Amino acid sequence: MSILKISHPAGRRTRVVILTILIALLLITIYAMGIFIPDEAAAGSFLEAGQPPSWKHPFGTDMLGRDLLARTLKGMAVSMTIGIAASAVSAVIAVITGIAAAAGSRYLDASIGWLIDLVMSIPHTILVILISFAMGRGLKGLLIGIAATHWCSLARLIRGEVLQLRSRQYVAVSRRLGRSGGWILIHHLLPHLLPQLLTGLILMFPHAILHEASVSFLGFGLPPEQPAIGIILSESMRYLSTGMWWSAVLPGLVLVLIVLLIDRLGEQLRLILDPGSAQE
């Protein structure tokens, strides 16, 4: 193995890049399928209610006779939108507040610290429900609710990281070479924050989806006719005792698969971007 590595130094990088592109393509395909599947495909027919998986319905049908594969894919698209958008917005909030806390005045740092404590002291679910309700529920309310509650721990992490980076010698050198604070932030600090940011984003993604599911389950999120993965799972709970295992297991597996894929995507991106492995 070690001989192979030495004799093909470029091969590993190419393989990582190809894997990254493949995973990204797969995620995009699932997303596109969810969006382009017509609503009729997920429409129900009581003649086919509660069928186990078959060639016609690979994921079976639910108690209303709706095809679960079509519903899962459509639900996945909605959940991915919420997951990606909410965690991206959350991450941006975290970066801005984290940097502001580390680089700003002591009062700013204290007030951001206080705000983080405040948001973290309230259980997420309750806060998401409150914000989502105040913002008019539905997709928009949920997005704002989840984005506004998930930035805290990442913001703390970034604050600590920036404090540490600011005291590095190369930052001091850069300042003596006449570079401005903004230039140093963009060129010296942000590249170091990228791994934290990627990992934070990826860890936030399943969190966001699960919050979406739980809030929808409680009736404060998405309307019940919308096929979101959380709604499918919570509906399936009602029929699990009648032996309809497929309505919970298969959509659940797809959710796990998507989360794993995004996790792998993050890991591959880190391999490409990190100087420790970039040229291996």
Partner 1 sequence: MALEAKNIFFRYRNKKPWILEDCTLRVEKGERLALFAPSGYGKTTLAMLLAGYLKPIKGQILLEDKPLPQKGICPVQLICQHPENAINPRWRLRRVLEEAGGIREDMLDAFGIETAWLSRFPRELSGGELQRFCVARAISSDADYLICDEISTMLDVITQAQIWNVILNEAEKHNTAVIAVTHNRHLAAKIAERTVELPDL
- Rg of the chain taking only CA atoms, in angstroms: 23
Q: Does 169 bind partner 1 (CB under 8 A)?
A: yes
What six digits make up the tokens of 239?
């029929």
102-135 b/e with 16+ CB inside 10 Å = b?
Answer: bbeeeeebeebeeebeebeeeebbebbbebbeee
Distances 234 to 137, 210, 217, 270 between C-alpha atoms, Å: 18, 11, 6, 35
- Tell me: does residue 35 bind partner 1 (CB under 8 A): no
Residue (113 or 270) nearer to partner 1, CB: 270
**From 93-101, 107-115, 224-232, 271-279, span contacting partner 1 (CB under 8 A):** 271-279
What's the min distance (Å) between Cβ of 165 and partner 1? 10
Q: Interface with partner 1 includes 275 (CB under 8 A)?
A: yes
Contact 82/142 with Cβ under 8 angstroms? yes
The Cα 115–Cα 166 span in angstroms is 23
Q: Which of 81, 111, 174, 199 binds partner 1 (CB under 8 A)?
A: 174
Interface with partner 1 (CB under 8 A), residue from 12, 166, 179, 264: 179
Please, are residues 195 and 270 in contact by the beta-carbon 8 Å criterion? yes
Between CA 153 and CA 82, with CA 270 as vertex, the angle to 5 degrees is: 50
Q: How far is the CB of 187 from partner 1 (least distance, A)?
A: 8
Query: Under the criterion CB under 8 A, does residue 177 sit at the interface with partner 1?
Result: yes
Sketch the per residue contact string, 185 through 214, with partner 1: x for CB under 8 A, - otherwise: ---x--xx----------------------
Under the binding rule (CB under 8 A), the answer on residue 122 touching partner 1 is no
Nearest distance in Å: CB 236, partner 1: 46
Tell me the HSE value of 136 on the side-chain side, using a 13 A CA sphere: 2
With CB under 8 A, what is the number of residues at the site for partner 1?
17
The token pair at 196 is 């934290």
Of the two residues 121 and 176, which places its CB atom closer to partner 1 in the complex?
A: 176
Our finding on whether 10 is near partner 1 (CB under 8 A) is no
- CB nearer partner 1, residue 38 or residue 182: 182
